[in-house]
Structure 1
Amino acid sequence: MLDLTITEVRLTPILVADPPLLNTQGVHQPYTPRLVVEVVTADGTTGVGETYGDTKYLELARPFAERLKGRQLSDLNGLFTLADEVAVDASRVEDAVDVGGLRGVQTAGKLRLSVVSGFEVACLDALGKALGLPVHALLGGKVRDSVEYSAYLFYRWAAHPAGVPCEQDDWGAAVEPAQVVAQARRFEERYGFTSFKLKGGVFPPDEEIAAVRALAGAFPGRPLRLDPNGAWSVATSLRVAQELGDVLEYLEDPALGTPAMAEVARRTGVPLATNMCVTTFAEIREAFTKDAVQVVLCDHHYWGGLRNTGQLAAVCRAFGVGVSMHSNTHLGISLAAMTHVAATVPDLHHACDTHYPWQAEDVLTERLTFTGGRVAVPEGPGLGVELDREKLAFLHRRWLADDGSLRDRDDAAAMRITDPQWTTPAVPRW
């Protein structure tokens, strides 16, 4: 008989190489923190999960992990009650901006959900292994055999600033339309992506309009998206929507907050998507009743795991709101989890976002692959992936060796290495 009592929880903070990708707040640091969570049961089954690794998440994950020991692996609902019992340092979240997700003010509740997400995935992975079932079966079963992803295009520098320890890549710079198109062609050739999303809010809107127009000319009829992370005013958002309305699949978070998004939505026919003004269930009512968004970009790291993501999708379906998937810098554990839950969502009519092609490092024995822009849904027990302990140990040693400057993501601090006068721009920026 299986003994699914959790007897051990391992937390491994790591630093993963990250390219110099630009966004409205600055530039990615050369390494980004992630946290790998492992739960071990009395009968020796191990499950793995992944979430943000910044200090504020780690400080909550440690006491949470201690409380998890002795509980049943299948008590997934209890994870949320357990998280509520763990105190959150108010100084770390009060008026703090969630730089990694660029989703506005970080609250204690949002912090807890992001921590729970890593543990829930680890528990589902272990439960699937114990029962001999893939995670998608534990979520009710898949409705598709593969999940489509979109190429995530970024303005970027060719390299991190001189003198900054980092890993090099061969992607080159992308700061003008022709270079953005070249980046997109490379994504198409390497991974078969057929839709493209550009991270905006970096340059004045006219320059980003030109880049999207260049993409439309190079890839006629392909779905295109633009995401300035709330950097524009309502007036600017409306102007960009008018300029690009004939080529955009949707415009993502052009203005900051539900009232501004509702005003933009009221005055344009371009669908609006969000991963900023709808990131908890409490935020749904205002956004949906005001018709502020037409597509919600779900993210199991935001919503507390895979099962909550499924509940979100059901609410969206009831309101006639579309669903896609948000991405932040993540490894293969999260991509596998994203693929499992996306496979169970009936009305997933938009390709999902993923940073995975940008991440040259991973903690899996074998990287997940894209074929025709799609990832096949893993059919092995649990997540269907295997942890590479040598790679995990290497990335953990990098975290241990860091002086603390990289253990919390800070895009503005990274930008100040090049521009000492840089401060996080006020919103709206344009």
Structure 2
Amino acid sequence: MNSVQSALLIEDVRLTPLLVADPPLLNTQGVHQPYTPRLIVEVVTRGGVTGVGETYGDTAYLDLARTIAGALPGHPVSHVNGLAHLAEQVCGGSPTPDEGVDAAGLRGVRTADKLRLSVVSAFEVACLDTLGKAVGLPVHALLGGKVRDTVEYSAYLFHRWAEHPAGGERDDWGAALDPAGIVAQARRLAGEHGFGSFKLKGGVLEPDLEIAAVRALAEAFPGRPLRLDPNGAWSVDTALYVVGQLGGLLEYLEDPVSGTDRMAEVAARGGVPLATNMCVTTLPEIAGAFARAAVQVVLCDHHYWGGLHRTRELAAICRAHGVGLSMHSNTHLGISLAAMTHVAATVPELHHACDSHYPWQTEDVLTARHVFDGGRLTVSDAPGLGVELDRERLAALHRRWLDDDGTLRERDDAAAMRRADPDWVTPPVPRW
């Protein structure tokens, strides 16, 4: 082994769990907690180069990350294709479904495989960031090169409260619990960030109220792409009713019902493109969904799929089957947004603006926040991801995690809702 190869061996891995402020955004399961757990991964080479990655920070993810981190020293930072296999070897276990448990993202049935891939994604991004810095290339170049200089993002709209019922950081957004509130929210996001398309998180209010919100958006922003995502909260009949009411106003309807069977029925009868980040989140789920034309748009997410390379593989499969592609988002910081932007820049057929929660996140661990211009992010050509950790902010958000009694270290939207309504029970599916 020569000196260059030796310098690219992993010397150390650092894991820093955080609690990050999150607004009181509503979904069908409840409300976001005042703080959400995230995990920052740092990979350090023998040559002294450090790269960063990010993923979910709940205990199940953190435990897997600690096991994988212990196995990485001595491995070349460039061997990202072997990360998933290494993780499976050292973590053990089979992908046994845990019915009815959400994996911190309203993503359908939780399995050991999904958890493992979500953790692997952070290590893969950290390794690519490290390798890019070591050789002087941006991450998009390591993925084959960018095909666009900017990536478009969509405004993510939420029904929300003005503040958390107990604790948490305050903001100046106010409540949004009716069509007027949603339109006001959209106007502010468009004004501050230039977004040209809008996605409403549904499944919160009765369907007629959410229909009214979409109609109000269509009137306020004529001709702009609109999306509605009730996270599988509706029955087939309700989904078809909504489609009948909204007609051609929707760019696509995201996960109106739960499961491939119901999605296929709505797709066949509804006449509106259906998107998903719930019934297609792993490779084995693709064949049945595509064969039955259950989805017309897949919302990729490098956390779910195990990294940036696997996201590109998913994009190729979608292209081969004539299925559209966009990008899903969950509560994330700037490291994940940088990774999302790099991989999105390399995908030729990115048919729709990508989702991002980032405008809702007031805290970050970077020295400089990402800035949207006309709803777009410029793809960085700096080595690696093109971001730098703010060590002081990282330490402060980690101290918050250390000081927590464990209550907030697991994302639980239903538990957060019970702070306001002690009788709240996560609604059954379908909810309407």
Q: TM-score, normalised by structure 2?
A: 0.98
1:128 is aligned, of 108, 129, 132, to 132
Deviation at 1:101, TM superposition (A): 1.1
Q: Is the 8 A contact 1:10 1:38 kept in 2?
A: yes
What is the alpha-carbon distance in structure 2 between the residues aligned to residue 322 and residue 344 of structure 1?
15
Is residue 2:57 matched to residue 1:48?
A: no
Match of 1:312 among 306, 311, 314: 314
Match of 1:108 among 107, 112, 127: 112
Q: Which AA in structure 1 matches 2:215?
A: R
Which of 389, 392, 401 pairs up with 1:390?
A: 392
Does the 8 A contact of 2:129 with 2:385 survive in 1?
yes
Number of residue pairs the alignment of both structures matches: 428
Q: In structure 1, what is the Cα distance between the partners aligned to 2:158 and 2:77? A: 39
Q: Of 148, 151, 156, which aligns to 1:152?
A: 156
Retained in 2: the 8 A contact 1:88–1:108? Answer: no
Counterpart residue type for residue 320 of structure 1: G
Amino acid at match of 2:98: E
Shift of 1:88: 6.0
Could you tell me which of 9, 20, 23 is aligned with 1:16? 20
Listed as ranges, the matches of 1:8-407 within 5 Å are 8-87=12-91, 94-95=98-99, 97-161=101-165, 164-407=166-409
Question: 2:84 is matched by which residue type in structure 1?
Answer: F
SS in 2 for 1:336: helix
Partners of 1:404 and 1:53 in 2: CA distance:
12
Kept after mapping to 2: 8 A contact 1:60/1:86: no
Change (3 A) 1:21 1:90: farther
| Pair 260,370 (structure 1): closer, same or farther in 2 beyond 3 Å | same
Q: 1:93 Cα deviation (Å)?
A: 6.6
How many Å separate the matches in 1 of 2:91 and 2:69? Answer: 13
Cα distance per residue 1:298-351 (max 9 Å; x no partner): 000000000000000000000000000000000000000000000000011200
2:163 maps to a residue whose letter is: A
Give the letter for the 1:146 counterpart: T
2:138 touches 2:383 (CA, 8 Å); kept in 1?
A: yes
Q: Distance in 1 between matches of 2:429 and 2:84?
A: 33
CA contact (8 A) 1:35 1:50 kept: yes
Rounded Cα–Cα distance in structure 2 between residues aligned with 1:51 and 1:66? 17
Gaps of 5+ in 1: none
| Cα distance in 1 for residues equivalent to 2:215 and 2:93 | 46
Counterpart of 2:418 (choices 405, 409, 416) is 416
- Give the 3 Å change call, closer, same or farther, for CA 396–90 of structure 1 in structure 2: farther
**Is 1:6 aligned with 2:10?**
yes
Q: Is the 8 A contact 2:341 2:377 kept in 1?
A: yes
CA offset digits 1:30-56 (Å, max 9, x no partner): 000000000000000000000000000
Instruction: Using the TM superposition, name which of 82-91 and 1-10 deviates more.
Output: 82-91
* Counterpart code for 1:351: A
User: Runs of 4 or more off by more than 4 Å in structure 1?
Assistant: 88-93
Task: Tell me by how many angstroms 1:92 deviates.
Answer: 10
8 Å Cα contact 1:11-1:37 kept in structure 2? yes
CA distance in 1, matches of 2:127, 2:196: 34
Question: Partner of 2:38: helix, strand, or coil?
Answer: strand
Identity of aligned residues (%): 73
CA distance in 2, matches of 1:104, 1:283: 11
| TM-score in terms of structure 1 length | 0.98
> Which consecutive residues of structure 2, in runs of 5 or more, have no partner in the other structure?
none
* SS in structure 2 at match of 1:10: strand
Q: Is the 8 A contact 2:49 2:130 kept in 1?
A: yes
Q: Is the 8 A contact 1:259 1:292 kept in 2?
A: yes
- Bigger drift between 250-259 and 83-92 goes to 83-92
Cα displacement (A) at 1:190: 0.2
Q: Report the Cα offset of residue 87 of structure 1.
A: 3.2
Do the aligned partners of 2:22 and 2:361 also contact (CA within 8 Å) in 1? yes
Provide the rounded CA distance (Å) in 1 between the counterparts of 2:264 and 2:182.
30
> 1:111 is aligned with what amino acid?
L
Verify the 8 A CA contact 1:56 1:92 in the aligned structure 2. Answer: no
Contact 1:99/1:410 (<8 A) preserved: no
Q: Distance in 1 between matches of 2:348 and 2:183?
A: 32
Bigger mean CA deviation after superposition, 69-78 or 19-28: 69-78
What root-mean-square deviation, in Å, do the aligned CA atoms of Structure 1 and Structure 2 show?
1.2
Instruction: For residue 77 of structure 1, report the CA deviation from its aligned partner.
Output: 1.4
